[in-house]
Structure 1
Amino acid sequence: MPKPSRPRAVALLAATALLSGLLAGCDSGSDNDVDLNAQKLDWKDCPAPDEAEGGGSAPSPLPNGTRWQCATMKAPLDWNKPKGDTLGIALIRARTSGPANRRIGSLIFNFGGPGGSGVSTLPAFGDDYAALRTRYDLVSFDPRGVGRSKPVECLDDAQLDAYFQQDATPDDAAERDQLVKETKKFNAACEKHSESVLPHVRTTDAARDMDLMRRVLGDKQMHYFGISYGTELGGVYAHLFPKNVGRAVFDAVVDPTQNSEQASLGQARGFQLALDNYAANCTAQSDGCPVGDTPQDVKDRIAKLLADLERKPIQGIFPRRLTQTAATGGIAQALYSKDFWDYLTQGLEEAYSGDGKTLMLLSDSLNGRSQNGEYSNITAANIAINCADDKPRYTPGYVEQKLPEFRAASPLFGDYLAWSMVSCTDWAVPGAADHPDVSATGSAPILVVGNTGDPATPYEGAGKMAKALGPGVGVEMTYKGQGHGAYDSKNRCVQQAVNGYLLTGKVPAAGTVCS
């Protein structure tokens, strides 16, 4: 079972949609004599996102009429064999709204995951970056293994429905053996359907794709905006190509010093903090909180709901029923943004009355399931990229030894996140390292923005990232807020600091605090 690691923008896009063309395959042929640096991109109007990208309609023009354009960039399948097979990297852009003589270059976005489609996400939030578009072309992409970029494929939609209905928090040996069996089945399906790409979806591969992208787009420097996992990708890029870094911002920052176990434990603490903040906010309302009288009462009632669902699931979205695992995922999804807290209250109220539809809608959005029952490939890509990156492989016995520590970190999310560590057991490709190397001596300054209430990438990670980037490179600032990320919260102080750096090159003072 993958741990919740969705980027805020992707999470917002999926849940908002639920609650309210160009193909990039693998080009065969081992003798690639084309200079990929000299390739010309064939930009055209964007088609509707395909199933792997999450489906939906073709992106609408921006308010001033600017149309989104899409293209496919060829990159080596194996960067150790740059003249071998290629794969297609799907790109999207909106041209700058400002005069040509004021244009800085391209601003490349990665919205995280790993596994989130930038091609489908950027248009949904493009207008939020209108100020940045005055001097940049806004550009994003589907990283290799994601969306249209040679997507990792594992289970079909019906099989994924069953996969997400399983008990991801086993209470006895039989349930544990069943979880391990289903995990192995999932991983074997990934190997069967995507064997050729699995060794080549590491973050270092994506970083090399980005430097090729920079060259093909005609930029001397990489100007970059990374969110969530996108900060890890940006850090790895800065390590590999420090002299090529231009102006870069990391928001919702991954702690690059942690291994996968430490990251899961950090998320347990982060989601528990977000739940504590939700409960305190709900019970502080003047008209009362419909799901509890005190913060502890809110959490106790949620714990009882989950225990009841373990024994007897309730009706969700027919024919599926809301299980303990689905409800936990739905609650986690709602904690990604304060904007979702009302949905969480609604979902809990309904579930207490035997109706699990809203919590299941939230769970579906976490798992990349659309209302028509089709899944994006975010879960498959998330697991594939994490397992290719992360060297540790955890056994069920090891997880059981760690359960007390995870439960102490979060009574609600501890088991869920501890058992997520078995996702890479028996994975077909060995993991690359215990944690990424982001040291970037010689890089231009990188603005690192941490949010004190972030559940998925806890605030402490920003300081760790700034320090790991190196003296004179990482510049940390703090947002005292809620949810995953800072810039898209629309906090004026954060946006002024980020826009000021990206548009004028003015680096905010280290230690700047916004609230």
Structure 2
Amino acid sequence: MRRIVLLVVAALFSAACFLPGGLGGSDEGAAPSPTKDGIWTPCTDEARKIYPQASRSFQYHCAKVDVPKDWAKPDGPKIQISLIRARIGSQSDRIGSLLVNPGGPGGSGVDTAVYLTNALPVSVLRRFDLVGFDPRGVGRSAPVKCMSDEDLDASFGSEPDPVEQAQFDQIVTLTKQMDAGCKAKYGDDLKLYGTVQAAKDIDAIRQAVGDDKLTYLGYSYGTLLGATYAQLFPKNIRAMVLDGAVDPTMSSVEASESQAKGFERAFSNFDAWCKDHTSRCPIAPDARGAITKALDQARANPVTYEGRKATSGWVFYAVISALYTQDRWTDLADAIDSLHDGDAEAVFELADAYAERTPGGSYSNLFDANAAVNCTDDDSPPSVSQIRTLQSQWREKYPLFGAPLAIGSLTCSVWSGGRDPVPTGKANGAPPIVVVGTKGDPATPYEQTPALANMLGVGHVLTWEGEGHTAYPETSCISSAVNAYLIDLTVPAEGKTCPA
């Protein structure tokens, strides 16, 4: 569940089925009409298509909310935001809706809500309607789709650390080609897919589902979306949990280096785990050496599987994919061991799961939306020449992940869409907000957790001494603390830490 739900954020770079629905539009200054059960459309069959194991204890209904394409022009064209509501049959003492966002940016909250029916604690699910939404530009909500499958294959398969200038220039050219396709298709509208616009959509959703106050659970990039909402609408919040914090006060260069440090730390933890669990790690005792060797061999002579070459890029993204959760560390070790034996199937399984690539070679719009949101939010990306310098510097500091994280900044460096940076102030007037951090989180390193809490001014840190990206509901300690907050508004004790 965690691998599906919790997605990549920041400098790293779903074909979803259509969900029917039906909320009408709204006039300037007026809230969308409150939803009634008769307005929601039953969509249990669609939920089963998303996740065949979706809990049968729930009823699923779908809807759409009309919002301004540009909130600065409320009388202008509208777009539709897709929602799904999961309501457990044993619901009692209903508090309201729990709105969830899985991150990305580019992750589908509609899909996530269905997955979470089998993951969130029943004590929470009995008190809330679980509501997921695809943010603007994502999945079923006016999706941004402007990168070809061929270009995405080339991007993921390209050298993660292009040392030769010709290699580097080739990646710059490919990145510019992808940017040009997006600019040609969407033009100036690209700047309308940023976090500020999406946060305003959330308040429309809050009104549409009939909640006086918002209860929100945001993972990864969803913490940035939630924090932006908290600054724009602080008095409209009942409770907010931000798990896997993104610190918006960091520049994009600082954020990328933070991720390089986080992934390097997580990889060192994986290497140490292999030394201590040799029976479960066939590349022990030197997992780092084995993966470095696999990358070098992929550069010289990539293994072929079903017509695809397991280049160094695909091997690298297999590593990235597995580091998101400790549950996949064994899979990574097995995949690298199989690759040494000439079998790349498991490497592609890990990398394709990360890339949201189907066996047939098609991609969701995760990375199209990811670029549109991240680059709109980033008003000061590094230049191409700065990235080339950072690549060398970070390679020395973070041997496996430094250079690739620098190269990942190229997307926003060449981005020709507009910019709409996120705010970085206090959430004055908001209630206490719980910010959850994981000590071994590679994608949103723990250091960003207290930083986001401090920025908001009303943040309360809850720490998990575990591995992987995000914490709730991984352990009973974390779950108990978050459940008590969501249900009873009991804020975790200052400095509360949960063991791994």
Number of the residue aligned with 2:384? 396
Distance 1:488 1:325, change over 3 A: farther
Distance 1:257 1:212, change over 3 A: same
Check conservation: 2:216, 2:240, Cα contact below 8 A: yes
Check conservation: 2:28, 2:75, Cα contact below 8 A: yes
Number of the residue aligned with 2:483? 499
Q: How does 1:459-474 map to 2 (within 5 A)?
A: 459-470=446-457, 473-474=458-459
Alpha-carbon RMSD across the aligned residues, in angstroms, is: 2.6
- Inter-partner Cα distance in structure 1 for 2:315 and 2:326: 18
- Inter-partner Cα distance in structure 1 for 2:123 and 2:378: 37
Q: Aligned-pair distance for 1:24?
A: 8.6
- Inter-partner Cα distance in structure 2 for 1:193 and 1:369: 22
Scaled by the length of structure 2, what TM-score is found? Answer: 0.91
Q: Aligned-pair distance for 1:7?
A: 7.9
Letter in structure 2 aligned against 1:179: I
- Inter-partner Cα distance in structure 1 for 2:162 and 2:277: 36
Distance 1:382 1:24, change over 3 A: farther
- Inter-partner Cα distance in structure 1 for 2:153 and 2:446: 33
Distance 1:448 1:513, change over 3 A: same
Q: Aligned-pair distance for 1:446?
A: 0.5
- Inter-partner Cα distance in structure 1 for 2:126 and 2:423: 34
Q: How does 1:152-163 map to 2 (within 5 A)?
A: 152-163=144-155
Letter in structure 2 aligned against 1:10: V
Distance 1:370 1:60, change over 3 A: same
SS in 1 for 2:59: coil
Number of the residue aligned with 1:3? none
Counterpart pick for 2:472 among 470, 487, 490: 487
Distance 1:301 1:244, change over 3 A: same
Instruction: Specify every segment of 5 or more residues in structure 1 that has no aligned partner in the other structure, as ranges.
Output: 1-5, 50-54
Q: How does 1:82-481 map to 2 (within 5 A)?
A: 82-99=74-91, 102-129=93-120, 130-195=122-187, 197-285=189-277, 287=279, 289-293=281-285, 297-316=286-305, 318-433=306-421, 436-470=423-457, 473-481=458-466
Distance 1:141 1:439, change over 3 A: same
Q: C-alpha offsets along residues 31-53 of structure 1, whole Å, 9 cap, x if unaligned?
A: 9679552264732233777xxxx
- Inter-partner Cα distance in structure 2 for 1:321 and 1:111: 31
- Inter-partner Cα distance in structure 1 for 2:480 and 2:6: 24
Distance 1:216 1:164, change over 3 A: same
Check conservation: 1:23, 1:148, Cα contact below 8 A: no
Q: Aligned-pair distance for 1:147?
A: 0.3
Distance 1:63 1:176, change over 3 A: closer
- Inter-partner Cα distance in structure 2 for 1:12 and 1:245: 25
- Inter-partner Cα distance in structure 1 for 2:478 and 2:355: 30
- Inter-partner Cα distance in structure 2 for 1:196 and 1:283: 52
SS in 2 for 1:400: helix
Distance 1:377 1:286, change over 3 A: closer
Letter in structure 2 aligned against 1:307: D
SS in 2 for 1:37: coil
Q: Aligned-pair distance for 1:205?
A: 0.6
Letter in structure 1 aligned against 2:60: W
- Inter-partner Cα distance in structure 2 for 1:412 and 1:268: 9
Q: C-alpha offsets along residues 135-182 of structure 1, whole Å, 9 cap, x if unaligned?
A: 110001000000011111112334432333233422112111111110
Scaled by the length of structure 1, what TM-score is found? Answer: 0.89
Comparing 452-461 and 283-292, the one that deviates more: 283-292
- Inter-partner Cα distance in structure 2 for 1:408 and 1:234: 35
- Inter-partner Cα distance in structure 2 for 1:151 and 1:203: 15
SS in 1 for 2:418: coil
Q: How does 1:28-67 map to 2 (within 5 A)?
A: 35-38=30-33, 40=35, 42-46=39-43, 57-60=49-52, 63-67=55-59
Distance 1:67 1:60, change over 3 A: farther
Distance 1:358 1:393, change over 3 A: same
Letter in structure 1 aligned against 2:410: V
Percent identical: 38
Q: C-alpha offsets along residues 290-342 of structure 1, whole Å, 9 cap, x if unaligned?
A: 2032xxx22122112212212222113x2111111111111010000011111
Check conservation: 1:151, 1:381, Cα contact below 8 A: yes
Q: Aligned-pair distance for 1:10?
A: 2.5
Comparing 461-470 and 277-286, the one that deviates more: 277-286
Check conservation: 1:7, 1:111, Cα contact below 8 A: no
- Inter-partner Cα distance in structure 2 for 1:241 and 1:10: 26
Instruction: Specify every segment of 5 or more residues in structure 2 that has no aligned partner in the other structure, as ranges.
Output: 9-13
Letter in structure 2 aligned against 1:512: K
